[in-house]
Amino acid sequence: MIVKALVIHLARAEQRKEHVKKLAAELPFPLEIIEAVDGKLLPDEAIEKFCRPRLYRPTYPFALNRNEIACFLSHRRAWQAIVDQNLDAALIMEDDAAPIAPFSDGLELALTNIEREGFIRFPFRDGRESGRLVARSGDVSLIEPVCAGLGMVTQLVSRDAAARLLKATETVDRPVDVLLQMPWVTGVVARSVVPGGIREISPTLGGSTLKPKRQISKLKRELLRPIYRARIAMRARLAAMRRQ
């Protein structure tokens, strides 16, 4: 298999450069930096072309901000690199991802199954996903979550899955990790390695570069979020039942 590590890195995030070098030394694949889209430099025309509110149901109740849009476009750059370079798969990591034990075991399990499964996540929050067992090796499992968790810190993506995602995300209405909870839209069912073997270490690297600024009141967000999550969970359960 031809596999690369693609690390999404924002050029102005100086404090993260040393960590990217550390990843290059530790990972078992050649590493390429994917320059992250900078939300501060994103033209309004690009936003208007890419985003269309209320595109899918259940309706996403929040407006996308520039940082969320930039994050989505950055992952599309990584998917495009997989297709353009004709890679069999790529380990896509954000530049605040830090592998820990048992990441190497999980990566081996993911590589064994990636051709069939297509999109395999390495969650940085353990214990939040459950679903059908796909494969197991020692203490590491590969599952098909009923509803995939949030976060795009690390994932192994096949060329076919990357092509499907590019086609499905020419126009979007919600963040990239939220849309990936909707395989009936993307055509890609996310699987997860558990435990993920990944930490998200942005606090030690100067804080998040992609954290969205809140555009609505905290109270309103806290009211709307659980309603949306209940709706997406219900739809995800129905979709999982159909697949099985």
Identify whether the C-beta of residue 88 lies closer than 8 Å to the C-beta of residue 158. yes
Average pLDDT over the chain reads: 94
**Lowest-confidence region among 57-71, 168-182, 193-207:** 193-207
Task: Output the pLDDT for position 208.
Answer: 65
Q: Quick one: pLDDT at residue 107?
A: 98
* Mean pLDDT computed over 108-117: 97
Checking if the pLDDT of 216 tops 80, the result is no
Q: Strand pairing of 119-121 and 31-35?
A: unpaired
pLDDT value, residue 209: 61
Model pLDDT for residues 27-86, shown as the tens digit of each residue: 999 999 999 999 999 999 999 999 999 999 999 999 999 999 999 999 999 999 999 999
For residue 77, give both structure tokens. Answer: 């750059």
The model's pTM: 0.94
Measured CA to CA, the distance from residue 47 to residue 79 in angstroms comes to 19
Task: Examine the pLDDT at 180 and tell me if it is beyond 80.
Answer: yes
